[in-house]
Amino acid sequence: MADTMELKICRELLDPKFDGYKLSLDKLPLYKSPLDNAIEVVDLSDDQYSYHHAKIYGVHNHLFLDLWSEQSVYFINTNWAVIRSTSMGMALDTGRKVLQIPDAANQKLTPKRLNLVLQFISQQMAVISDGAGKFHLIDTGNREDDSNNWKIIFSKDLLNNGEPFLLVDTVVHTEDETHCVECLCVHVEEATEELKDKYRTPNLTMLEWITLNSVDRKSWSVERTRQLIGSKPYDYAALDHTGSSIIISAAAEYKFVSDSSKPVQEDTEQVLLNRQNDAPEYTWHQGSEEICAMFTVPEGVKKGDIYMTLKSEYIDIGIKNGKALLKGQLHRRVDVDASTWTISGQRIELTLCKTDLEAWPVIVQGDERGEMTVDEGLISQIHERLSHLTSDQLNPAAEMTEGQPYNAQQLEDCDAFPEDSSLLHRINGNTHRTVSKTNLGSHQWLFNARLSRDQPPVLCLRHDVDGLLWQPENVVKEQITPWKHVSTFNAFGYVQASKQQRKYSICPPGSSYVAVCDCIRHVYIYRQPAPITSPVRNRKTGRQVNSVAKQQVISLESVDNILGIQATDEKLFVITKSVVCVVNVNTPS
């Protein structure tokens, strides 16, 4: 049984007296560099239409940051060349080619291919997935040395039959002098008929966990493959840096379905869940005076084929020389003479008259094969009694209503709860068991960001109106929450909801600001409150203000779609199809 953990908020990181963001007209230094070749962008095909496809593949960040060298960003152009662009001082270079991804012409012909992904996993290693099924492990050497050229040391189709995938996360670690690279990949599959019945969805999100091993860091091989399945797309998926667990936030729990090293056993919780999802053998409803049960019988069954023995506290009804439809001790006494049954086609309707007005939880004691439904007649009666409380108007007769708690028109986007309640859970890669989980309830997911090289990415969740950053821990300790509250962006729930054209949200490792990027042209920066030299007073409340949180707007003066953004504590990098830009966010103009 997984431990259920709560999100423990650090009250010291909250500001209940936050006054809001003050618009600053100070211009930030912005430098541009045109691209020799446009960046490679793969749009969703007509076949990739589901919510799973849109959520997992729809918004892709085409700009890649190296946390070991935050002065440089990388992108991949239409020739499949990896280009590095470096910001030094007051300039941004035009970019230098560091690697040519092989077999571009053939790989581009792969049906339903996805976008390319570049990730840096150590000071001298990186990985690339080409979106067409191929994975490359790269020795970059010292990336600070401009004379170094990158070398591919391992290439392979990681999934069966060269299935295209998107690289989600990669970590490197060492176990007993064996070097391991753990790769987390994702792809969306159309569900088989069996899986459609089980998960009640036509498409499934598949997470593939691939482990590469090496003794000398030169010769690599696939050591282990694991697969997880989810009926809902995820908001967050990452590996811890010990390589032992996977952390997922989604509207449905993910489960291991295969492991090349050991068989996956279905746990007790899943067995119970599957039983709950089984179709009921009959349905029934009840009123104050009677019980009505409906059974479906095979085609060709006639009235003479049905038998029934009914006593005041016992029933046995079924098909002669066949199975019993309902048999056993009744929950309460019934009036035998007033009870009856009828058959019409393949449907049998059984009516039992109660001797008291008590509600029954089941018809036969211990029989849970049936599903209780609500009587349509009872629904109509309830609706009639409550009709004076309902209206097709948002606020009917507002002038006649006193003490109205709120007007629905006053609600804002960030006041609405998510349709699905998300679950944040950690699954052990060896035991296949969920070791800890937290029900996020109404805490809406806002964005993910990487603050540290040695820890999984953080996820930003809405708590009331604020955005709180939660850092998953690498090692789970008993009685200690595995999710740590590390920073707060005040009122960011309202901020993000107000940006109707939002495409990306991101923050730097130091969490000194958060940036919201529109689809075209604009980037909005929201800074943490900073002390001011001359305290002022709030004109409404009279309270002395000692710090101010600034909002700044950056205009790229471009009509091209923004295709990527990366943030460091000093700089903000943005890329469109034809230009890369850098903004010195902490340098005065």
Per-residue pLDDT tens digits for 513-530: 999 999 999 999 999 998
Please give the structure tokens belonging to residue 294.
């409906």
Q: Which residues contact 135 (CB under 8 A, 6 or more apart)?
A: 127, 128, 129, 154, 155, 156, 157, 158, 167, 183, 185, 210
Residues constituting the chain:
589
Pairwise pLDDT comparison (404 vs 162), residue with the higher score: 162
> What mean pLDDT do residues 451-464 have?
94
Pairwise pLDDT comparison (267 vs 202), residue with the higher score: 202
Domain 281-368's class? mainly beta
What pLDDT sits at residue 535? 67
Weakest mean pLDDT among 441-455, 487-501, 530-544, 560-574: 530-544
Count of C-beta atoms within a 10 Å radius of residue 38: 16
Please give the structure tokens belonging to residue 537.
């007073």
What pLDDT sits at residue 539? 67
8 Å CB contact between 352 and 336:
no
What pLDDT sits at residue 122? 94
pLDDT bucket at 383, cuts 50 / 70 / 90: very low
* Residue-wise pLDDT tens digits, 273-296: 554 555 688 899 888 889 999 998
As a whole number of angstroms, the distance between CA 15 and CA 488 comes to: 9
CA distances from 549 to 22, 167, 535 (A): 6, 36, 13
Has residue 133 got a pLDDT over 60? yes
Has residue 116 got a pLDDT over 70? yes
Has residue 230 got a pLDDT over 90? yes
* Domain spans in the chain, listed from the N-terminal domain onward: 281-368
What pLDDT sits at residue 155? 95
As a whole number of angstroms, the distance between CA 502 and CA 414 comes to: 14
8 Å CB contact between 226 and 429:
yes
b or e along 416-442 (b: 16 or more beta carbons within 10 Å of the residue's beta carbon)? Answer: eeeeeebbbbbbbbeebebbbbbebee
Provide the sign of the torsion angle of the four alpha carbons 416, 56, 173, 128, taken in this order.
negative
**Residue whose tokens read 């960003």:** 73
Out of 4-13, 91-100, 231-240, 367-376, the most confident range is 231-240
* SS3 of 218-229: CCCEEEEEEEEE
8 Å CB contact between 515 and 63:
no
pLDDT bucket at 45, cuts 50 / 70 / 90: confident
**Residue whose tokens read 């790229």:** 556
DSSP assignment of 563-574, as one string?
EEEEE-SSEEEE
As a whole number of angstroms, the distance between CA 280 and CA 566 comes to: 52
How buried is 327 (Cβ within 10 angstroms: 0-12 exposed, 13-18 middle, 19+ buried)? Answer: middle
What pLDDT sits at residue 515? 96
Count of C-beta atoms within a 10 Å radius of residue 268: 9
Pairwise pLDDT comparison (310 vs 372), residue with the higher score: 310
Instruction: Map residue 364 onto helix, strand or coil.
Output: strand
Mean pLDDT of the chain: 86
What pLDDT sits at residue 374? 66
What pLDDT sits at residue 380? 53
> What mean pLDDT do residues 82-90 have?
87
> What mean pLDDT do residues 211-217 have?
93
Weakest mean pLDDT among 126-130, 413-417, 481-485: 413-417
Pairwise pLDDT comparison (146 vs 131), residue with the higher score: 131
Weakest mean pLDDT among 94-103, 180-189, 367-376: 367-376
pLDDT bucket at 74, cuts 50 / 70 / 90: very high
Please give the structure tokens belonging to residue 253.
């729990």
Weakest mean pLDDT among 139-143, 182-186, 497-501, 530-534: 530-534
* Residue-wise pLDDT tens digits, 302-358: 998 999 999 999 999 999 888 889 999 998 899 999 999 999 988 999 999 999 878
In the chain, pLDDT over 90 holds for what percent of residues?
Answer: 59
What pLDDT sits at residue 416? 52
Pairing of strands 434-441, 3-4: parallel
What pLDDT sits at residue 587? 60
Weakest mean pLDDT among 109-118, 181-190, 475-484, 491-500: 475-484
> Quick one: DSSP state of residue 561?
B
Count of C-beta atoms within a 10 Å radius of residue 378: 13
pLDDT bucket at 369, cuts 50 / 70 / 90: confident
* Residue-wise pLDDT tens digits, 241-254: 999 999 999 999 99
Q: Which residues contact 416 (CB under 8 A, 6 or more apart)?
A: none
Q: How far is CA 31 from the centre of its chain?
A: 35
